[in-house]
Amino acid sequence: MERFQQEQLKLIASVSTKKRYLYDLIDWNERCIGILGARGTGKTTMMLQHVRERYGNSDNALYISVDSPYFLAHNLFDLAKEFHELGGELLLLDEIHKYPDWSLHIKSMYDSLPKLRIVFSGSSLLQISRQKADLSRRAIIFNLHGLSLREYINFVHETAFPACTLETILENHRQIAETISMEITVRKSLRDYLINGYYPFFLESSGTYPFRLREVINHILEVDLPYVNRIETRQLSKLKKLLFLLATSVPFTPNITKLAEVTEISRSRLYEYLENLQNARLLNLVRSHGRGYEVMSKPEKIFLENSNLMYAITENINTGTLRELFFVNQIRNTCTLHPSLVDTSIEVSAKGDFFVNNMYTFEIGGKSKGYRQISGIEKSFLVVDDLEIGYRNTIPLWLFGFLY
């Protein structure tokens, strides 16, 4: 116990002071909190920030990474019980998906140690509803996404721009854009963000960012996916090939049969792997309006989850793809910001590019893009790149980076 406390003191002394959007959305007084997200998005930092802010150097809070070799020979529940008996109030468990039957241990802690509060973090791949123990009535689950453009700008320029709802942007985009543009050169910030601004570790060293990001991709494919989804090792090379093929050719209406042949993956398994890669926050699958979200339904478009992944994997960057990828990423990440919020839905539209919340139609393009594709459609908008301030129903693409 003392060794873990000493390690914690070192960690909280060096943790960043810059807080992610999710930090203030969490009620840290809840008895059991789960934070799920892709590797590198800042889950560990957020937990340590809370320890430093609430407990300082007190030993009433204990942070543990359960992928420590210690837990190869020691029981997680036993450690929690000992900590509780010593007067511990808050136990923070990082990398929880690395511990066998982790949900059973958390359920036991919750039921048997009533004065202990638990915060756990894990891979975005975790499907809480599928765990052996029923945590749905016990744990409040939050999802942590990568940095929005707004967060990136606030971190880099030390500004404090607030997030905007989609409706606020649609109604007041010109006024919002004018206010922001008075303080920063927003289009330059967007270019930088698209290349190396999605994962918080860009703050540590921009020079090594692409290498670290490729390490993140490999860790997700080689460690997290096999851990959570029981994917056989021999399939990993096929998954890497699939990801590369999608990175160099998205967005497109995928030919599942051809993809299966090229990657030597069966059709049924291919659908499953696409969903796995989306849950791992490596892909975004967008289906046609009215098609639903069944695993076995073909996505109409496939994007890498964020633009930084594209720059890390390929040098062949298609501008049109980049625009749509950014829009899909920022819209979709407004989902699951808080358990009480209604999810934001995005689908491929029959007219225009995307249909959002079963209400709004968006056409994405450059300065020369016109209204022809969305002419006559109610609640339709033109989203334009290379534009600082919009007009009427024409909105700058970058402004959708202020949704969270």
The pLDDT tens digits of the residues spanning 287-339 come to 987 655 555 578 999 999 999 999 999 988 999 999 999 999 999 998 656 54
CB neighbour burial string for 264-293, b if at least 16 within 10 angstroms, e if fewer: ebeeeebbbbbbbbbbbbbbbbbbbeeeee
Domain presence at residue 25: yes
Domain presence at residue 237: no
The whole-number pLDDT of residue 307 equals 97
Domain presence at residue 87: yes
The whole-number pLDDT of residue 2 equals 87
The whole-model pTM stands at 0.92
Mean predicted confidence (pLDDT) in 366-393: 92
Note down the domain range covering 23.
Answer: 2-144
- Residue predicted with more confidence, 251 or 24: 24
Judge contact between 61 and 90, C-beta under 8 A. yes
With residue 354 as reference, give the H or E element that holds it. Answer: strand 354-356
Strand order in the sheet with 346-348: 346-348, 354-356, 360-365, 380-384, 394-396
Domain presence at residue 154: no
Domain presence at residue 398: no
| CATH number of residue 122's parent domain | 3.40.50.300
Domain presence at residue 239: no
The whole-number pLDDT of residue 250 equals 60
Count of other CB atoms within 10 angstroms of residue 43: 25
Domain presence at residue 131: yes
Report CA-CA distances (Å) from 17 to 57, 80, 153: 16, 28, 16
Number of domains forming the structure of the chain: 1
Residue 187 main-chain phi, psi, to 5 deg:
-70, -35
Averaged confidence pLDDT in the chain: 91
Domain presence at residue 66: yes
Q: How many whole angstroms separate alpha carbon 351 and alpha carbon 183?
A: 36
- Bridge partners of residue 360, in order along the sequence: 356
pLDDT in tens, 160-194: 999 999 999 999 999 999 999 999 999 999 999 99
Which residues of 38-187 form beta strands (DSSP E)?
61-65, 90-94, 117-123, 140-144
Q: How many whole angstroms separate alpha carbon 304 and alpha carbon 277?
A: 9
pLDDT in tens, 38-79: 999 999 999 999 999 999 999 999 999 999 999 989 999 999
The whole-number pLDDT of residue 247 equals 86
